[in-house]
Amino acid sequence: MAIDLAAEARDRGIKYFLISFVDLFGTLRAKLAPASAIAGMAEDGAGFAGFASWLDMTPADPDMLAIPDPESLIQLPWKPEVGWLAADPYMHGKPVEQAPRNALKRMLKKAEDSGYTLKSGVECEYFLVSTDGEALSDPADTQSKPCYDQSALMRRFDVVREICDSMIELGWGPYQNDHEDANGQFEMNWDFDDALKTADRMVFFKYMTKTIAESHGLRATFMPKPFSHLTGNGCHMHISMWQGDKNLFADKNDALGLSKDAYHFIGGLIDHADAICSITNPTVNSYKRINAPRTTSGATWSPNTVTYAGNNRTHMIRVPGGGRFEFRLADGATNAYLFPAAVFAAGLDGMAQKTDPGAPLDIDMYAEGHKLPADAKKLPLNLLDALRATDGSAMLRRELGDELVNAYVKLKMKNWNEFSRQMTSWERADTLDC
């Protein structure tokens, strides 16, 4: 039965709705609509000028109508008179192909047409910093190995508790919160679910975490590498594929507990890792995380090569147990919808092509990387190389569409060129006396 948003507003005491969409840069855009207008908005959508966001549009384009998905409704735990809705952008009566949520829905429909349900869980790491972003929020958080530090965790208990209490109230099934490997860094985990629901929740989690941190006089950042000497913010995704109640990635007779479909899916990710890297790692700063020197904790905890293994966190793909695997490449800046869309495009292509991922590599990549096979692929060194790989990917163009790939590469290239025009203090110090 379809959800009646006007009735939900009456029953729940919702006075306003945030009708939201995410653009190509992952920015959350919204209109605030009074509950009295939601019936019309639910049918016709909220109007936006697409050019005013990070979409490849012009001021001459007509209104882009964001039609809310009633199934995505989340009532703000800290402001219950407001309901949040993920929306799907339309123009000329058709879904906007470059809109990230629409792209993910296309990939999930392709899987569904083949009888598959793709499920995912994400681990969103973030730092709590000063409001200007220059320093950690906790000056006492100074251990060289601060991961799981109980004292540092509890000094930020009020923030962590409020976020976790909100997830409990929303029914997400949060099950653990911890201080992560960097000083000032935290991670909060909740149950995996259907991939679209997980993506919507990831969008809301980032908004919620930033909002609650602000209410405590702090700032939450998901920036990939906010401090050069500390571990960066990853966004690891756990992936499985289902048919009803049957996990199609599980095989109890396999050494790693994975089926042939799972291995082919991994093969697709290995085959297309460079092509999707500009999506999983979408900023200039991203490449200071995946190509980073050793941090003060002793490890970066991010991959630098396209490899997979069993329960070994030094590889791009880790298999912690049967029936699923963890994709460790993406960082905190990744777009919540484009990320799974690109991962599923690569993985489903691997299944279609029956791509062989090769044997797992049971080595410590940080200490024994020199033992890699000569043909092991390296990840892009910077955003420019990654964008060129995305631009030239026939698979991404086929699965995500030329409109999305062209728009993404065009706007991100502008971003790269803007970065390239900057003069840094390092350049001046290094080159002034050349």
pLDDT in tens, the chain (434 residues): 689 999 999 999 999 999 999 999 999 999 999 999 999 999 999 999 999 999 999 999 999 999 999 999 999 999 999 999 999 999 999 999 999 999 999 999 999 999 999 999 999 999 999 999 999 999 999 999 999 999 999 999 999 999 999 999 999 999 999 999 999 999 999 999 999 999 999 999 999 999 999 999 999 999 999 999 999 999 999 999 999 999 999 999 999 999 999 999 999 999 999 999 999 999 999 999 998 888 888 889 999 899 999 999 999 999 999 999 999 999 999 999 999 999 999 999 999 999 999 999 989 989 888 888 888 999 999 999 999 999 999 999 999 999 999 999 999 999 999 999 999 999 999 999 99
Query: How far apart (Å, rounded) are the C-alpha atoms in residues 109 and 90?
Result: 18
- Digit-coded pLDDT (tens) for 295-317: 888 889 999 899 999 999 999 99
Residues in the chain: 434
Query: How far apart (Å, rounded) are the C-alpha atoms in residues 279 and 284?
Result: 12
Query: How far apart (Å, rounded) are the C-alpha atoms in residues 194 and 118?
Result: 6
Burial of 417 per CB tally in 10 Å (0-12, 13-18, 19+): exposed
Residue 289, H or E segment: helix 287-290
pLDDT at residue number 292: 82
The two tokens of residue 183 are 């000083």
Distances (CA, A) of 141 to 134, 148, 180, 233: 15, 12, 12, 17
Query: How far apart (Å, rounded) are the C-alpha atoms in residues 290 and 380?
Result: 9
129 neighbors 97 (Cβ within 8 angstroms): no
- Digit-coded pLDDT (tens) for 232-260: 999 999 999 999 999 999 999 999 999 99
Could you give the angle at the alpha carbon of 75 between the alpha carbons of 73 and 76, nearest 5°? 130
321, β-bridge pairs: 324
Burial of 46 per CB tally in 10 Å (0-12, 13-18, 19+): buried
Closest CA to 101 of 338, 283, 419: 338
240, β-bridge pairs: 119
Query: How far apart (Å, rounded) are the C-alpha atoms in residues 278 and 284?
Result: 10
DSSP letters of 23-53? -TT--EEEEEEEGGGHHHHHHH-EEE-GGGS
According to DSSP, residue 176 is labeled E
Query: How far apart (Å, rounded) are the C-alpha atoms in residues 395 and 106?
Result: 15
pLDDT at residue number 9: 98
**CA torsion angle 378 384 386 390 (round to 10):** -140
DSSP letters of 368-431? HGGGS-TTPPBPPSSHHHHHHHHHT-HHHHHHT-HHHHHHHHHHHHHHHHHHHTPPPHHHHHHH
Sequence-separated (6 or more) residues with CB below 8 Å from residue 219: 128, 129, 130, 131, 132, 133, 137, 210, 213
Amino acid in the structure at residue 364? D
Sequence-separated (6 or more) residues with CB below 8 Å from residue 87: 19, 20, 21, 45, 46, 66, 67, 68, 69, 101
Closest CA to 33 of 79, 74, 109, 85: 85
Amino acid in the structure at residue 55? L
